[in-house]
Amino acid sequence: MCKVGVLQIEWGHRFGSMERMTWGRGVEPSFRAEQLPTDTFPVLKYIPSWFPGASFKRKANSWKGIRNATITPPFMKVKKAMVNGTAEDCFTLRCLQRLERPDSRHDNLSVEEEIIKNTAGTMYEGGSDTGSTALLTFILAMLCFPCAQREAQEELDEVIGKERLPDHEDEDFLPYVKALVYECFRWQTVAPLCKYFRFPIPHRVDTDDNYKGYFIPKHSTVLANVWGILRDEKTYGPNAHFFEPKRWLLKCSGQRGWKLNPDMREPISISFGFGRRACPGKHMAVSSFWLSVSSMLHSFNITPAIDKDGNPIEPKVEYVSASQNRPAPFQCTIKPRSEEHAALIRRALDNDLE
């Protein structure tokens, strides 16, 4: 779901299911995170690839080839379609249209076109797997904390009904769902950037600073402990390690329902990074995640899988932390809540394919 959206935004192309599978197999090895010596000693980038101990350079060259072979064909397809007047609106098309001196040759790229191509590829790199990881965290949370799922569905039934799917215009009228989205980003943030995250993203201090008596000299490397910030019991209470959407809410006085607590700082500004290293696509990511979560809760029940003896498989909160804080593989059952919901889903799919 997330990958399809990112790919369509980049190149305006609706990938078929088999095409998406092939595309993913080609690109994922080149985006696999690994700590390289050049991250610590940048001067090592100048040694030749044949030098003893320089296997990291040969590996990086291999990944570069995979990446170029993956992102070049869809870029060239957009470039050709633009000349023919058949290109779909997308990021790549808009950038190409603004070029003052595009390369007219179909098989060649100018420096500016190379930049556009690589920027589109980076959008996939940063936005596809992170989105799917967040969705897996949501599904696991619904398995482990079914009360949150029921309360969100009650709100959706009251506000949306069974005649349509949620839309972005409904967001302000669904405070519990919004709080549930906040809690997904807080409870198991995708990029903790601390001891649970093997390859932290560094920041550099651009001026001398003092923090609680600690002197931090200019050009120091600083790693933000996002996990610690979002699990701080002083802010989120003694149950900070639990999934609890109500921590973001206040009960409306004199009426049913909830409202967001204005004194609680939303986690988006923390979980998506800080300063110049903040995720540039966070607004699109949060918007897409909200729509995915609200639509799934509206139309599906997420329940434990059943084993061969007919007993529910107890879900466990287990995560594998590498380039992302991702749930370990788990089983579940996802079924439409009713025949009306199933029919609504089919209509939505039919409209999307038209």
Residue list for the binding site for heme: 279
262 SS3 class: coil
Name the residue with tokens 């402990």.
225
Instruction: Tell me how crowded residue 350 is: count the other CB atoms within 10 A of its CB.
Output: 9
For 212: left if phi > 0, alpha if psi spans -120 to 50, otherwise beta; the answer is left
Binding-site sequence positions: 279
**DSSP-assigned letters across all residues of 132-192:** HHHHHHHHHHHHH-HHHHHHHHHHHHHHT-SSS---GGGGGG-HHHHHHHHHHHHHT-S--
Residues 6+ apart with CB under 8 A from 81: 87, 88, 93
Instruction: Tell me how crowded residue 339 is: count the other CB atoms within 10 A of its CB.
Output: 9
**Rounded CA Rg of the chain:** 23
Q: Are strands 203-204 and 221-222 parallel, antiparallel or unpaired?
A: antiparallel
H helices of the chain, in order, are 2-11, 17-27, 37-40, 55-84, 91-97, 111-144, 146-159, 175-187, 226-230, 233-236, 268-271, 282-299, 339-353
Q: Give the dihedral sign, CA 251/164/290/129.
A: positive
Distances in Å between the Cα of 270 and the Cα atoms of 171, 174, 262, 287, 310 are 21, 23, 16, 16, 42
Distances in Å between the Cα of 341 and the Cα atoms of 95, 278, 305 are 40, 38, 21
